[in-house]
A and B are shown apart, each in its own frame.
Chain A
Amino acid sequence: SQQGEEDPQALSIQEGENATMNCSYKTSINNLQWYRQNSGRGLVHLILIRSNEREKHSGRLRVTLDTSKKSSSLLITASRAADTASYFCATDASNTGKLIFGQGTTLQVKP
């Protein structure tokens, strides 16, 4: 499977700052999802944005989608130390739940 790219690969910020992660993908999609993974553990679903949506909010999370550029961004505002984790975007092209994951961004939020 071809995977999308995420940047940055690693991000280190201070608590309270905002964190922005970007994701690019290659094929047309039905939806794009963002997940969080704490070290060595399972995935936590954060947000799903459909191909006909451009922006979505959930609490401190803001996701944008630009299908013309095949890219998405995840913004975490007012970051907390507990946000320290790896973040992955994943695209669903077939609307079957079959996901292609990006390479991930490792976020460290320093207290």
Chain B
Amino acid sequence: GAVVSQHPSRVICKSGTSVKIECRSLDFQATTMFWYRQFPKQSLMLMATSNEGSKATYEQGVEKDKFLINHASLTLSTLTVTSAHPEDSSFYICSAQPRAGVWGNMNTEAFFGQGTRLTVV
């Protein structure tokens, strides 16, 4: 199956600093990637859709100026948490689906990165 690599897996940062999380599709190209956030003992909430070569689409209630998304190539999307605060501490996870025609089947599973646990102190 396809592989999505996310880095770092864990990060601790000071309040007020920014943190960048990378999501790479290793063996396929992805015009679209997705970023989710998961608070403890809760489900995954979609934050935004990362679109290669264009602006990300944010879900309602997600601040686009705080969570900067850059999808500069077909294999890399980055999420930067700017001016992080303790309430941003969470598990962030990305996913991607191969482009149409690559796998010959549109109705495929989404491939997830390993996730990043962010702790803001």
Q: How many A-B residue pairs have CB under 8 A?
A: 66
- Bound-state CA distance A98–B34 (Å) is 7
A31 to B110, CA, bound (A): 11
Q: Which residues in chain A, 54-111, are within 8 Å of chain B measured between CB atoms?
A: 88, 90, 92, 95-104
Interface size (A, Cβ < 8 Å)? Answer: 25
The bracket for how many chain B residues form the interface is 20 to 34
B36 cross-chain contacts in A, Cβ below 8 A: 101
B95 at the interface (CB under 8 A from A): yes
B46 touches A42 (CB 8 A): no
Q: Given known contacts A1-B59, A42-B93, is B45 in contact with A101 (CB within 8 Å)?
A: yes
Q: Is the CB of A88 within 8 A of B107?
A: no
The listed residue (B32, B34, B115) touching A41 by CB distance below 8 A is: B115
| Residue contact A50 to B107, C-beta cutoff 8 Å | yes
**In the complex, chain B residues whose CB is within 8 Å of the CB of A31:** 107
Cα A96 to Cα B59 with chains together (Å): 16
Q: A96-B32, A97-B97 in contact; A33/B110 too (CB < 8 A)?
A: yes
Question: Which residue of B has the minimal Cβ distance to A45?
Answer: B109
B107 cross-chain contacts in A, Cβ below 8 A: 30-31, 48, 50, 95
Bound complex: CA of A34 vs CA of B84, how far in Å? 32
Contact A101:B115 (CB < 8 A) given known A31-B107, A43-B93, A48-B107: no
Does A20 touch B at the CB level, under 8 Å? no
A17-54 contacts to B (CB < 8 Å): 30-31, 33, 40-43, 45, 48, 50
Tell me if B45 and A99 are in contact (CB < 8 A).
Answer: no
Indicate whether B49 reaches chain A with its CB closer than 8 angstroms. yes
Pick the contact of A99 from B110, B114, B117 — CB < 8 Å? B110
Question: Do B109 and A48 touch (CB < 8 A)?
Answer: yes
For this complex, 6 residue pairs linking A to B, each with C-beta atoms less than 8 Å apart, are: A31-B107, A33-B110, A43-B112, A45-B110, A48-B107, A100-B46
